[in-house]
Structure 1
Amino acid sequence: MKQVTTLFLKIAVIFIGIPVLALCIFLVPEIGNITAQLLPEFAYMEYLVSIIFYASAIPFYFALYQAFKLLRYIDKNEAFSELSVKALKKIKYCAITISSLHVLVLPLFYLFADKDGAPGVIFIGLVVPFASMVIAVFAAVLQKLLKEAIDIKSENDLTV
């Protein structure tokens, strides 16, 4: 049963990466073009936006790789190991990096909202930083719980 569950999660991790790859290929250049059209006085923003979105894809895929490694540790019955704690720590740092990079783009959402007269655009810009911070906090909590479980396990092993 455990193998089937982790296999399903591994497939889900792969399927999570595919839409982001499609967004990087098709949507990011379009967002850069829209930025250049809406803000011609800030023509350099086209490149800045593309760089930030592509740069945030790197830690995203690294975090997916760490999640895949974590699932392999579970398959090998090494879930309660320092390797799992390290993987969760890397996922946490990747989520913080993604959130930080997307916070850098928030002034651009403000300029879009100001130009278009739609203040709701700012809230759309907050979705990715907020979601990645939730993932970072969740990974930090899991990391702490796993570390405590490993400590308790090692104490019990020494007692027996």
Structure 2
Amino acid sequence: MKKVTTVFLKIAVVLIGIPVLALCIFLVPKLGDIGVELLPDLAFIKYLIFIIFYTSAIPFYVALYQAFNLLRFIDENKAFSELSVRALKKIKYCSITISSLHVLVLPLFYLFAETDDAPGVVIVGMIVPFASMVIAVFAAVLQRLFQEAINIKSENDLTV
């Protein structure tokens, strides 16, 4: 049963990466074009959008890789090890990076909302930074929990 759940989660981790890749290939260039239409005075806005979105994809895939490693550690009965704590720490930093980069794009969502008179667009733009911060906090809590479990385990090993 344990292997089945981790295999399911590994498949889910891989499947999560596919839509983000598709978004990077198909949606980001369109967002760049929309940015140029909204701000024709600033021709560099297209490249700024490319840089921010493609740069945020890098920590996303690093975090997915670390999540895959964490599942592998669980399969190998190394869940409560320093390797798991390091993986969670990297996931936390990647999530903070993603959130920070997407906060930089929020003014573009505001400009788009002003142009189309659609205030809900700003809320949509806040989904990724908010979700990333939730993941960062969750990873920090798990990191601390795992570290405390490792400390208790090492204390018990010393007393025996």
TM-score by length of 2: 0.97
Q: Secondary structure at the match of 2:41?
A: helix
Q: Which residue matches 1:101?
A: 101
User: Following TM superposition, by how much is the alpha carbon of 1:148 offset from its aligned partner in structure 2, in angstroms?
Assistant: 0.5
The residue identity in structure 2 corresponding to 1:4 is V
Q: Secondary structure at the match of 1:6?
A: helix
Larger deviation, residues 45-54 vs 33-42: 33-42
What is the distance in 2 between the residues matched to 1:99 and 1:13? 19
CA contact (8 A) 2:36 2:46 kept: yes
Q: Which runs of 5+ in 1 are unaligned?
A: none
The residue identity in structure 2 corresponding to 1:28 is V
TM-score by length of 1: 0.97
Q: Which residue matches 2:148?
A: 148
Q: Which residue matches 2:127?
A: 127
The residue identity in structure 2 corresponding to 1:62 is V
User: Following TM superposition, by how much is the alpha carbon of 1:38 offset from its aligned partner in structure 2, in angstroms?
Assistant: 2.3
Larger deviation, residues 145-154 vs 32-41: 32-41
- Identity across aligned pairs (percent)? 77
CA RMSD, 1 decimal:
0.8
User: Following TM superposition, by how much is the alpha carbon of 1:42 offset from its aligned partner in structure 2, in angstroms?
Assistant: 2.1
The residue identity in structure 1 corresponding to 2:105 is V
Q: Which runs of 5+ in 2 are unaligned?
A: none
The residue identity in structure 1 corresponding to 2:89 is K
What is the distance in 2 between the residues matched to 1:52 and 1:15? 23
Q: How does 1:78-93 map to 2 (within 5 A)?
A: 78-93=78-93
What is the distance in 2 between the residues matched to 1:105 and 1:42? 15
Q: Secondary structure at the match of 1:42?
A: coil
Q: Which residue matches 2:23?
A: 23
CA contact (8 A) 2:38 2:111 kept: no
1:75 has 2:86 as partner: no
Q: Which residue matches 2:4?
A: 4
What is the distance in 1 between the residues matched to 2:3 and 2:135? 25
Q: How does 1:45-84 map to 2 (within 5 A)?
A: 45-84=45-84
What is the distance in 1 between the residues matched to 2:119 and 2:128? 17
What is the distance in 2 between the residues matched to 1:68 and 1:145? 19
CA deviation profile, 1:93-139 (whole Å, cap 9, x unmatched) = 00000000000001111111222222221111100000000000000
Q: Which residue matches 1:39?
A: 39
Q: Which residue matches 1:114?
A: 114
